[in-house]
Chains A and B, each alone.
Chain A
Amino acid sequence: MMEMINPTYFVFLSLFIFCAGIAIVIIKRSAIFVLIGIELMLNAANLNLVYFSQFDPGMNGVMTSIFVVVLAAAEVSIALAILLNIFKHYKITDPDELTSLKN
């Protein structure tokens, strides 16, 4: 039985994934990658939730992470639908070029 992994590693792992997600969101030049970045941030939160739910008898964390996954899927589908339309009109997916709404 492998001894228990040091609990802080999980928190650090989820923090790492969270920061990676943020980096991807900001740096990537394609909207799809921004969505991937958001997914990463959500999964980092899931990791945390699942890990901490072991101390909570009611298993709320796991239940929440299921809902997070479901809602993330919904969000991505909506995002892709909108991106399709943008591609039809603007022929670009780079968020930096989408600058027609100025002050």
Chain B
Amino acid sequence: MTLLKIIWPLIFIIPLFSGIIGGLNHRQSLKLSSFGMAFGLFLALILVWMLDEPLILEWKWLESVNFGFSIDRLNALLVLLVYLITLLVQVFSITYMEHDPDQDRYTAKLGFFAFSMIGLLMSNQLVTLFLFWELVGMSSYLLIGFWYQEAGRSRAARQAFMINRVADAFLLLGVIRVFNNGYATSFTETLASGIQWDGFTGICFIIGAFGKSAQFPFYGWLTKAMAGPTPVSALIHAATMVTAGVYLLVRISPALMDWNLQVIAIGGAVTAFMAAVAALTQFDIKKVLAYSTISQLGYMILGIGVGAYQASVFHLWTHAFFKAGLFLAAGSVIHYMHELDATKDPQDMRNMGGLQKILPVTFYAFLICGLALSGLPFLSGFLSKEGILTGSWLWGQSTGNYLVPILAFCTAGLTAFYIGRQILLVFFGEISFAKKMVEPLVTIRVPLIFLAASSLWFWNSINPIDPLGWFWNGYLFADLGATSDQHSILGVLIGSIVLTLSGLGVAYWLFRPEAETARGFKKSNEPVQLAGKISFHGWYIEKFYDQIVRLFSKVVFGAGWFDKKVIDRFVDGVGVSGVVIAKVIGWFDQNVVDGLVNFMASISQLIGRFVTSFQSPKIQIQIGWLLLTLLVLLLWFQFLT
């Protein structure tokens, strides 16, 4: 036990420490920090291995507020996951960022992110969670805006942080309500005491989680986050940070009311479906993966909503691997396209094609991870998705609300379709360029191979079909007693396989190299008809943000709510109104409130002028005024007293 007590803080500190070391020396900063992370991974393994009952560490932060960490099986495993993915991403970015001048800053920021993510996973007290929650938001802001030279990227970072900040405001409100209503302020106590939170506090936490995990109203920022370097997207916006919302909901689900859980379920389902539709017509390789991440997160949130939180955690685990794999593969494609010809947009799929033979390892990794994502049997995706679909089906039966399972099944089909489309468009078709590049052996291939392999089924459970066969299932939920009815229902099993195969088939039929749509795709531009436009613009969510802010600024015209999107120098006419509103408050503050003082000064000048007007230079007028006042006084005394 004492060994764990030593290892635990070390695990917590190592990422920060390695980030600082990496940040300090310029040349091999990434190599040094990856050694540090490898050591941290080793310690995390020991921790997961030897941990039996939860460790709690708590101390008084403020009078009525405590600061506390705890480590139990669930977050130990997730910490291990974070370490693993961070290490892989750092190894990958050694080549990806080799000729980038600011490597040290990159490593420092990555280290800071890993530190805050692990802090978030380990925190037990709500205030500690909120602290690391915001630190994770800040590190994502720093990493998205890593190439701050381009104004577009730094603006995307700012907008991502702002949307997160709005959701965090609700989370803060929820935390405060927990304190004020006397609920348990730490996860371990909430679990033990089983106090039910009131509905509104629940909703605040849900909005906070939805914000961080890019669910329905807030998912606009994840597509913006693609402005960051691809390894960063792989690490943060696929595997680790976005799952924080899911982790939070898993932790607080015992305390939520059942209608809160329904909200979660419907929210997850709707997001999953919308994101899947949005991913259908994207051109940018990373945008497709971003929308697919949103959709898979929708699945996990849905899983929690319907009560199948074990399946959600399992899906979180598997999704981390194959999505990181997809992103890294996309990263190596972008790296290659960038090397090839820097003028064209390296991320646009329209000028890609036939990379199968040029980047074989990337192709196979992308293929396996893509199929795992689509939920093909014998791959990890199928197992975890199966669990969620079963849970949603059973939940649909019990509550009679069949909307959620239907959306879940449709999304499964759509997922298969868009990932199939992407694989075909990027890797098949004729090769439009001759340069042959061999991927550097260690730094790119090893992470890809590892991630692709981990998407196979046997790493996760012996029986390729049974969703509960997950090795860690027993480890994680042994004490909770896995609910027996989670076993797969034949109908759900067949249904999901059929949907996946049909999705892949349609994709193949449409986008096989010979098909005219595949050839037309190269020159096609934005879809014209309504459905295509809805999908391409991601259900107009970003436009929706602008409308809200503009509406809000109109509503609060007196106070002048500031409209960030409109301030953009590129949005001309509309943009000016935002600046005008800001200037109006500035003017208002300057003249009206300030004018009050100048007004009083001018009033006293005016009275001064009136008063001194009596003081005429002529003596006889002065005497005249004197006698007049005496006369007035006399008359006053004669008649009025």
Contact = CB atoms under 8 A, between A and B. Distances in A.
Complex A–B touching at CB under 8 A: yes
A42 interface: no
B624 A95 contact: no
Interface stretch (B15-23, B251-259, B587-595, B614-622): B614-622
Interface residues of A, number: 12
B191 interface: no
A4 interface: no
A99 B616 CA distance: 8
A34 B621 CA distance: 13
A100 B616 CA distance: 11
A3 interface: no
A86 to B, nearest CB: 12
Contacts of A22: 627
Interface string B615-641: 101111001100100000000000000
Nearest to A101: B617
B25 to A, nearest CB: 77
Contacts of A103: 612, 615
Identify whether the interface residues of B are mostly helix, strand, loop, or mixed: helix
Contacts of B615: 103
A2 interface: no
A56 to B, nearest CB: 26
A95 B619 contact: yes
A100 B619 CA distance: 12
A43 to B, nearest CB: 18
A34 B617 contact: no
A96 B620 CA distance: 7
Contacts of B623: 25-26
Nearest to A102: B617
A32 to B, nearest CB: 14
Contacts, number: 24
Contact of B620 (A34, A100, A102): A34
Interface residues of B, number: 9
B617 A26 contact: no
Nearest to B624: A26
A99 B617 contact: yes
Interface string B576-615: 0000000000000000000000000000000000001001
Interface string A89-103: 000000110111111
B627 A96 contact: no
A9 to B, nearest CB: 22
A6 to B, nearest CB: 23
Contacts of A98: 617-619
A16 B618 CA distance: 26
Contacts of A102: 617
Nearest to A97: B618
Given A25-B623, A26-B624, A96 B612 contact: no
A25 B612 CA distance: 23
Nearest to B611: A103
Contacts of A95: 618-620
A75 to B, nearest CB: 15
Contacts of A99: 617-618
Contacts of B618: 95-96, 98-99
Q: Which of A22, A95, A98, A99 has the most CB of B within 10 A?
A: A95
State the 10 A-B residue pairs at the shortest beta-carbon distance, nearest first.
A99-B617, A103-B612, A95-B619, A102-B617, A96-B618, A95-B620, A26-B620, A26-B624, A101-B617, A103-B615
Given A98-B618, A101-B617, 9 more contacts: A22-B627, A26-B627, A95-B618, A96-B620, A98-B617, A99-B617, A99-B618, A100-B617, A103-B615
Interface of B: 612, 615, 617-620, 623-624, 627
21 contacts: A25-B620, A26-B620, A26-B623, A26-B627, A34-B619, A34-B620, A95-B618, A95-B619, A95-B620, A96-B618, A96-B620, A98-B617, A98-B618, A98-B619, A99-B617, A99-B618, A100-B617, A101-B617, A102-B617, A103-B612, A103-B615
